[in-house]
């Protein structure tokens, strides 16, 4: 495993569902891994981007820190994706990153991810249209899929909370015997 992968894995392990943000000191992290601070910068710049679902905040100086915040969290994940990340147009690479992120967050299954990737692929959109129109069409497809998934998730959640056990007909006798 490459050092970049090890650093990424270490940071992602610190970012759990309960802790969607973590504060680190670049120099301490570099010392821990026995690398230059620029290696930490590289990992942060390439593996923890907004497209990957993270925001990096940093403060320089003696008490400086790096704060990594997982952007997509809680029940507003789909709404955030639809309104902020996708917009009016989205390229195939960005769409595939979002789908991968949804799978990593366990919001969609691997099967659903494969179907979504197929739907937004350049092969599926191989029609004689300019690239800008294909990106706009891809955005509409992504938004429709995410809206449908959000609706399904909401229905499943409400069904779980409203579900009451049915009475057992063998334990509750009617007023008459047969």
Query: For the residues 51-68, what does the mean pLDDT come to?
Result: 73
The DSSP H or E segment spanning 103 is helix 92-104
Structure tokens at 102: 């949804």
Query: For the residues 162-177, what does the mean pLDDT come to?
Result: 48
Q: How confident is the model at residue 83, as a pLDDT?
A: 66
Q: How confident is the model at residue 176, as a pLDDT?
A: 37
Q: How confident is the model at residue 101, as a pLDDT?
A: 83
Of 17-31, 109-123, 133-147, the poorest mean pLDDT is in 17-31
- Angstrom distances, CA of residue 122 to CA of 90, 98, 137: 12, 16, 11
pLDDT at 74 over 50: no
List of domains in the chain = 3-70 (3.30.56.130), 74-160 (1.10.1200)
54-59 vs 21-24, strand pairing mode:
unpaired
Query: For the residues 167-178, what does the mean pLDDT come to?
Result: 43
pLDDT at 148 over 50: yes
CB contact at 8 A, 120 and 95: yes
Find, among 70, 102, 75, the residue nearest to 156 by Cα. 75
What pLDDT, in 10s, does the model give residues 88-103? 899 999 999 889 888 8
Q: How confident is the model at residue 16, as a pLDDT?
A: 72
C-alpha span between 49 and 129 (Å, rounded): 30
Grade residue 17 by pLDDT with cuts at 50, 70 and 90: low
Phi-psi region of 61 (alpha: psi -120 to 50; beta: other; left: phi over 0): left
């Amino acid at each position: 495993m490459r050092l970049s992968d090890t650093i990424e894995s270490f940071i992602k392990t610190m970012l759990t569902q309960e802790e969607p943000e973590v504060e680190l000191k670049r120099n301490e992290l570099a010392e821990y891994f026995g690398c230059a601070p620029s290696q930490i910068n590289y990992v942060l710049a390439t593996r923890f981007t907004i497209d990957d679902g993270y925001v990096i905040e940093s403060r320089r100086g003696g008490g400086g820190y790096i704060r990594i915040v997982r952007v997509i969290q809680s029940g507003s994940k789909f709404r955030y994706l639809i309104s902020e990340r996708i917009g009016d147009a989205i390229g195939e690479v960005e769409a595939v990153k979002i789908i991968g992120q949804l799978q990593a967050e366990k919001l969609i299954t691997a099967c659903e991810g494969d179907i979504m990737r197929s739907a937004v692929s350049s092969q599926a959109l191989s029609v004689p249209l300019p690239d800008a129109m294909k990106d706009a069409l891809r955005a509409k497809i992504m938004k429709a899929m995410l809206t449908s998934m959000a609706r399904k998730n909401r229905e499943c959640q409400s069904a779980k909370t409203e579900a009451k056990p049915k009475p057992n007909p063998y334990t509750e006798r009617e007023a008459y015997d047969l």
